[in-house]
Amino acid sequence: MSRVRVLVGTRKGAFILSADGKRENWEVSGPHFAGWELYHLKGSPVDPNRIYASQTSGWFGQIIQRSDDGGKTWTQPGTPPGEPTTTPDGMPKGESNKFVYDTSAATGKPLTTHQFYDGTQHPWEFKRVWHLEPSLSDPDTVYAGVEDAALFRSSDGGKSWHELAGLRGHGTGPKWQPGAGGMCLHTIMLDPADPKRIFIAISAAGAFRTDDGGATWKPINRGLKSQYIPDPEAEVGHCVHHVAFHPSRPDVLFMQKHWDVMRSDNAGDNWHEVSGNLPSDFGFVIDVHAHEPNTIYVAPIKSDGEHFVPEGKLRVYRSRSGGNEWEPLTKGLPQSNCYVNILRDAMAVDKLDSCGVYFGTTGGQVYCSSNAGDTWSAIVHDLPSVLSVEVQTLP
Amino acid sequence: MIRVVLPPHLRALAHIGGEVSVEVEGPATQRSVLNALEAAYPMLCGTIRDHVTQQRRPFVRFFACSEDYSNESPDAPLPQAIVTGDEPLLVVGAIAGG
């Protein structure tokens, strides 16, 4: 029988939740890396036992961890305990947490500043990895979305990282600015139909696409309207919170923006709003059903000033029409006195026949629906504040 | 040998239980001690000082012989008691936040 493994990143460590295909009885492992912020964990699609994790701390900076046994044991890539501390040619190891922005002339346009909170130009400063996206074809290749916003890639299992500098260098970088959570590259989507196409999103810059494997990029924000920037329809500057697609239909993108739920039917070239009858179109997460490309999920949040669910009711909203018409999913979720948030990377779907939907809250609950959202139950109630949720469907 | 005491999170990263001792080439300074520490425990690279600038991370402090040496030059000599191993160099995660 198939199994699922839910990878949960929290403010104080990582947890791994495992169950068989019924998704009723759960085994909880953790905390892994207790006391550290785990912004994201994600497994390789081609080797599910290979899991990458972003471990970070305001004190000690960024650490990349890797497991090759499904999360039982972890090492920093390139520095397993007990092995030599230098390479055969004498180079020091310990490069797996080294994220250095590319300023070489060879990559074209070294870019050193972006817009800061006070309107001045500010140099790029690496802070942390928000999102790790393993390659669809090679377990040793993985992308990292970082703050301050940039995209890095490792092709040696996370031992070393190199920036895809064309993203920062394409020209609009000086207009990017940090959102309240920092200037983070939080979404990376690899097109299964075209290995050279990648979508990314940045708060607060917008969405971008490359069609040549990361060498050149273009903003894909036409149709977005953001009243909180001087030109609401500017080319960049939009606070995109998350973007999702169905792997079978990678030209159809769904976006939860700061305000507004948006849809594109041409790989981001144009967007239109599909917020419809949502009680609030502010939110962070958005995801797509594993088997129904037109069924999407959001978790509305009251407002940008009040980051909790509206009316004290925890409701996931589902649209079976690709947007505009939404139904609340409430069975099993608290419907009074609930004031949690669901952060941008904290929702995921499994690939079992009856699609499972998962999300984590800032109150430390991780909820599971094994029937596409019709009913919910909490796997765990009292974890630290949840930053991210991913799920692996295992044979 | 220079004795170094690390904060618990860094001991966990480096898979060590208590304090560590490192052999330093030349004068014992913050820089030479950290160079030796990172050579012995490369997983600590970037956690105490920045990979590129080599500057101390803002919330990490260096205490020695009941004094705060955090803002001293990284090339300034450490106290004799550190050099002789009578006292350890303390790498401390500063109290911050709420």
Handedness of CA A54, A388, A362, A34 (dihedral sign): negative
Of all residues in chain A, what percent carry a pLDDT higher than 90?
83
Choosing among B6, B43, B44, B53, which should be mutated to test the A contact, i.e. which has the most A CBs within 10 A? B43
Judge whether A283 and A256 are in contact, CB under 8 Å.
Answer: yes
Residue A91 has pLDDT above 60, yes or no: no
A11 touches chain B (CB under 8 A): no
Report ipTM for this prediction. 0.89
A97 touches chain B (CB under 8 A): yes
User: Using CB atoms and an 8 Å cut-off, which of residues 200-259 of chain A contact chain B?
Assistant: none
Q: Pick from A36, A86, A98: which is nearest to B46 by CB?
A: A98
Calculate the average pLDDT of chain B.
92
- Band of the pLDDT at A109, cuts 50, 70, 90? low
pLDDT, position A14: 98
Residue A187 has pLDDT above 70, yes or no: yes
What's this model's pTM, rounded to 2 decimal places? 0.94
pLDDT, position A203: 93
Closest CA to A392 of A6, A9, A12: A6
- Band of the pLDDT at B96, cuts 50, 70, 90? low
CB within 8 Å: B41 and A93: no
Of all residues in chain B, what percent carry a pLDDT higher than 70?
97
A104 touches chain B (CB under 8 A): no
- Token pair 């993985």 in the structure block, residue: A142
Residue A299 has pLDDT above 80, yes or no: yes
- The mean pLDDT of B23-35, rounded to a whole number, is 94
Q: Which of A32-36, A229-233, A278-282 has the lowest mean pLDDT?
A: A229-233
Q: Pick from A60, A62, A93: which is nearest to B42 by CB?
A: A93
Residue A212 has pLDDT above 80, yes or no: yes
- The mean pLDDT of A116-135, rounded to a whole number, is 92
pLDDT one-digit tens code per residue, A68-77 = 999 999 999 9
CB within 8 Å: B42 and A79: yes
What domains are there in chain B, each with its CATH number?
A: 2-93 (3.10.20.30)
Q: How many CB atoms lie within 10 A of CB A212?
A: 11
- Band of the pLDDT at A223, cuts 50, 70, 90? very high
CB within 8 Å: A94 and B42: yes
pLDDT, position A111: 63
- The mean pLDDT of A220-229, rounded to a whole number, is 92
Rounded-to-integer distance, Cα B50 and Cα A183, Å: 20
Å between A173 CA and nearest CA of chain B: 22
User: CA distances (Å), A392 to each of A48, A152, A185, A252, A353, in order?
Assistant: 7, 23, 23, 23, 14
- Chain B residues in contact with A97 by the CB 8 A cut-off are 45-47, 51
- The mean pLDDT of B61-65, rounded to a whole number, is 95
Residue B52 has pLDDT above 90, yes or no: no
Burial of A25 (0-12, 13-18, 19+ CB in 10 A): exposed
Please report which helix (H) or strand (E) contains residue B39, including its range.
helix B30-40
Judge whether A281 and A259 are in contact, CB under 8 Å.
Answer: yes
Top pLDDT among A171 and A198 is at: A198
Top pLDDT among B89 and A80 is at: B89
CB within 8 Å: B47 and A61: yes
**DSSP labels, A104-168:** -GGGS----EEE-TTSSEEE----EEEEEEE-SS-TT-EEEEEETTEEEEESSTTS--EE-THHH
CB within 8 Å: A85 and B41: yes
The dihedral over CA atoms of A68, A70, A71, A72, expressed in degrees to the nearest 10, equals: -90
Handedness of CA B35, A162, A124, A282 (dihedral sign): negative
- Band of the pLDDT at A307, cuts 50, 70, 90? very high
The dihedral over CA atoms of A254, A258, A260, A266, expressed in degrees to the nearest 10, equals: -30
Residue A110 has pLDDT above 80, yes or no: no
Judge whether A4 and A393 are in contact, CB under 8 Å.
Answer: yes
Torsion angles phi and psi, residue A320, rounded to 5: -95, 5
- The mean pLDDT of B80-96, rounded to a whole number, is 92
